[in-house]
Structure 1
Amino acid sequence: MRRALFVLVPLIAVLFVSAREPAPAPAPADSAANSNGVSPAARDRGVYHLATDAEARWIPFDLTPGNQIRFTMQIDGRDVTAILDTGVSYTLLAKASPAVDTAKLVAGGSATAIGGSVALGWMPTRSVALGGLARTGGGVTVADLPAIATGSASAVDLLVGADMLAGHALDIDYAAKRFRLIRSGRLPFKGETAPLRVSTERSVYESALTLGNRRLAPVVVDTGDGSSVTVTAAGWQAAGLKDVRVTTAIAFGLAGPAVSGLAIVPDLRVGTMTARSTEVRIEPAGGFSQAIGTAGRIGSGFLQNYRVLLDPGARRMVLSRGPKADTPPLRSTSGLLVGAEPDRLKVLHVMRGGPAEASGWKDGDMICAIDGVPIPADYPTSPLTSWSAGAPGRVVTLGLCDGTTRPLTLKTFY
């Protein structure tokens, strides 16, 4: 059964750290170590080694509530929790992680992320290891990494970016919840192909897609983005899908929230593969994708329907249909996108044209019960989440935390 949380509580990491670093921030006067604050691109990249038995070294993962690949790896011999993120240029360590050595931390400038700009630091590392891949030397960028930006109730330590991954092929078996890094050029399974490269401009994985009759390129292939497909407002307009109804949604990136359009399109193409009933987010003019010079993103919400091979060295992405391919995505019938807190739900966004908007719901409203049932601590994985995508015509009684109740009649609206 697909989780209602996938679309309806979009605590998703729509993240990107740009390769186009501005000038570094000035070093504090009392820190000689910060005097060499230069961008990650100019720093020691380290030496990589792929084990001869790398194909056997699968890394198990779980999908976060925001559809991201979460797993355990090692930095300097310490276990850390990580998200696999091909939309991040340089591997990023959370400033609050126990793996941060403040004595080694230096200034690193700033970077572009969804929601705005973020300040970066840089920390050299002795060793980094995941599966059959090991690196000696090099380092990681360091920044604030709040839990809400990674779709989790608790924060992770690390986003593993293109700098760590792009020298090899990445085989992601979503159905079995495992991935591995293997030698570029290998083809471990058959599927449909699309172009793939690591861009010189942004240092992230990029491909193309066709929406309506319009080819959109480049689009970032972003395993750290929990949404499905995102396009710019200009790309959506060029596709000419005038009969598709559009509502609104919210997503959370490294620099904060971003509101976008939301629609479900009958089909789109990625290389030789046609996908049916695909959720598409539409960024407003001047949004993140436009700002970094791309046409959009393909996220983990889309990729998880397939077994995926990302091999920029061989210039290809391979998609093999999984059991969830072409399954229509869940649609909100409530029009409320909520975030789970310990004993309540906070309304993060009221979707345009939905029944909640018509009933006067506002961002920030707090829900403590659904049909008389208090919000449990395990709400994100409990069956109770299904209320927000229930059958049209059903009346749900929502108990507010001030003791009042509000009935909400569910409705199809996009």
Structure 2
Amino acid sequence: MHLLLPLVLLAASPQPAGREGVVTLAADSEAQWVSFDLTPGNQIRFTLTLDERPVTAILDTGVSYSVLAAKSAAADPTRVTANGQATAIGGGGNGAVAVGWLATRRLAIGGLTRTGGGVTVADLPALATGSAQAVDMLIGRDVTGGQALDIDYANHRFRLLPSGRLPFVGAIAPLAISPGRRVYESSATIATRRLAPMIVDTGDGSALTLSAASARTAGIARLPTTTTISFGLAGETVSTLAILPAVSLGQQVVRNVEARVEPAGGFSETIGVAGRIGSGLLQNYRVLLDPGAGRMVLKPGPEANAPPLRSTSGLLVGLERDRLKVLHVMRGGPAAAAGWQPGETICRINDQPVTTDYPTSALAKWAIGAPGTAVRLGLCDGTVRTLTLRQFY
């Protein structure tokens, strides 16, 4: 909770007919693992080849059609054509972003090759990954949906297999690609209430996101809550945040799940879904996504039953070079009680300077420290404040 966990998702956007290309798998695709790292926003970041050029990408099963960043060196502006708008997360949940279209010759990921087809072109800010650097692409359903996708989070690798393969044993949950939205979808059960459809979204860094209506059905109002902020292609969204005692995904029961609740009329309601299952939950499992076989398979990893990290500071911050900018002050937290405001900047923590490697450094753990700990925060204007940590949700 000390890092921004952004959300990026496009619903089905209008695409030129017949331009998804032809996808093939190599005979040895099972042996062709693709290495990845997790961004500070819990997203799968890797390198692929697009038209013989290496590009960085996020594996995003919540995207209907793969997206190329307009600022990427691979996006030749003279070849991009306007292609309407797509629905995106942010700006209150139902924002629309302008998109273009770029025909491509060849895309390769591990043992998968797609010839022909094309990609949507849109702005992909760095904030979309919670990292200081933007990526070139979001790889979505149009590339991976016809295969089985085996994600080995523990070893930071994934591979693409023929649909129907079952490379490991685990709990099974339903999975399909919706005919209208064209994304991966499953269901979840909370307090005996089945919620469907739930988008299975590896590009969403949070664990579980619910529409306002789904949250009411699940009885979230009975739990302690606070607020959090997310960023998508259409802007920022403030959501309610709670810890659910248990969520069932098919045969798998997941304990202590961090859940975000969108405001009424938010993104999920706009596109007609109950919510999203994100990488913040999936990363604690080995995951097989095989919509062709109708199943998601979950094998618990060593962190599957670990409690989620909770903010004890009530400050959500983003890194801007050598400083932290306050993005959100969580409702009911110690920072709110002390009068902190969004936009304030922090340059030192317990007399240590903020550096560019902050997101992966031990220093970043201050905001989830033990209740009762007093933290000295040096603002960039030279003033120093002391914040005493406590549990508040």
Equivalent of 1:209, from 184, 188, 211?
188
2:6 counterpart of 1:16: no
- The answer as to whether partners of 1:171 and 1:179 remain within 8 angstroms in 2 is yes
Aligned partners of 1:259, 1:211: CA distance in 2, in Å?
Answer: 22
Aligned partners of 2:370, 2:24: CA distance in 1, in Å?
Answer: 53
Aligned partners of 2:10, 2:190: CA distance in 1, in Å?
Answer: 26
- The answer as to whether partners of 1:149 and 1:256 remain within 8 angstroms in 2 is no
- The answer as to whether partners of 1:64 and 1:70 remain within 8 angstroms in 2 is yes
Q: Corresponding residue for 2:228?
A: 249
TM norm structure 1:
0.93
Aligned partners of 1:397, 1:45: CA distance in 2, in Å?
Answer: 53
- The answer as to whether partners of 2:313 and 2:367 remain within 8 angstroms in 1 is yes
Give the 3-state SS of the residue equivalent to 1:163 in structure 2.
helix
- The answer as to whether partners of 2:106 and 2:114 remain within 8 angstroms in 1 is yes
User: Which one-letter code corresponds to 1:9 in the other structure?
Assistant: L
2:67 counterpart of 1:92: yes
- The answer as to whether partners of 1:250 and 1:349 remain within 8 angstroms in 2 is yes
Calculate percent identity across the aligned residue pairs. Answer: 62
Aligned partners of 1:100, 1:313: CA distance in 2, in Å?
Answer: 31
- The answer as to whether partners of 1:15 and 1:114 remain within 8 angstroms in 2 is yes
User: Which one-letter code corresponds to 1:17 in the other structure?
Assistant: L
Q: Corresponding residue for 2:77?
A: 102
**Structure 2 unaligned spans of 5+:** none
Aligned partners of 2:151, 2:345: CA distance in 1, in Å?
Answer: 38
Alignment of 1:14-413 (within 5 A): 14-19=7-12, 21=13, 39-40=14-15, 42-115=17-90, 116-413=95-392
Describe the shift of the 1:367–1:211 C-alpha distance in structure 2 as closer, same or farther (beyond 3 A).
Answer: same
Aligned partners of 1:209, 1:392: CA distance in 2, in Å?
Answer: 32
Deviation at 1:101, TM superposition (A): 1.6
Aligned partners of 2:166, 2:216: CA distance in 1, in Å?
Answer: 37
Alignment deviations for residues 370-413 of structure 1 (CA, whole Å, 9 cap, x no partner): 11111122111110011101111111111111111111111100
Give the 3-state SS of the residue equivalent to 2:138 in structure 1.
strand
Aligned partners of 2:5, 2:284: CA distance in 1, in Å?
Answer: 19
Deviation at 1:211, TM superposition (A): 1.2
**Structure 1 unaligned spans of 5+:** 1-6, 22-38
How much is the aligned-residue C-alpha RMSD, in angstroms?
0.9
Alignment deviations for residues 260-284 of structure 1 (CA, whole Å, 9 cap, x no partner): 0111111110001100111111111
How many aligned positions are there?
A: 389
Alignment deviations for residues 105-130 of structure 1 (CA, whole Å, 9 cap, x no partner): 11111000001111000000011110
- The answer as to whether partners of 2:2 and 2:365 remain within 8 angstroms in 1 is no
Runs of 4+ in 1 over 6 A off after TM superposition: none
Deviation at 1:11, TM superposition (A): 4.0
Aligned partners of 2:185, 2:134: CA distance in 1, in Å?
Answer: 27
- The answer as to whether partners of 2:47 and 2:54 remain within 8 angstroms in 1 is yes
Deviation at 1:48, TM superposition (A): 1.3
- The answer as to whether partners of 1:219 and 1:298 remain within 8 angstroms in 2 is yes
Aligned partners of 1:148, 1:11: CA distance in 2, in Å?
Answer: 9
- The answer as to whether partners of 2:220 and 2:242 remain within 8 angstroms in 1 is no
Give the 3-state SS of the residue equivalent to 1:8 in structure 2.
coil
Alignment deviations for residues 136-157 of structure 1 (CA, whole Å, 9 cap, x no partner): 1100000000000122210000
Aligned partners of 1:352, 1:235: CA distance in 2, in Å?
Answer: 22
- The answer as to whether partners of 1:106 and 1:121 remain within 8 angstroms in 2 is yes
- The answer as to whether partners of 2:70 and 2:124 remain within 8 angstroms in 1 is yes
Aligned partners of 1:287, 1:242: CA distance in 2, in Å?
Answer: 18
Give the 3-state SS of the residue equivalent to 1:42 in structure 2.
coil
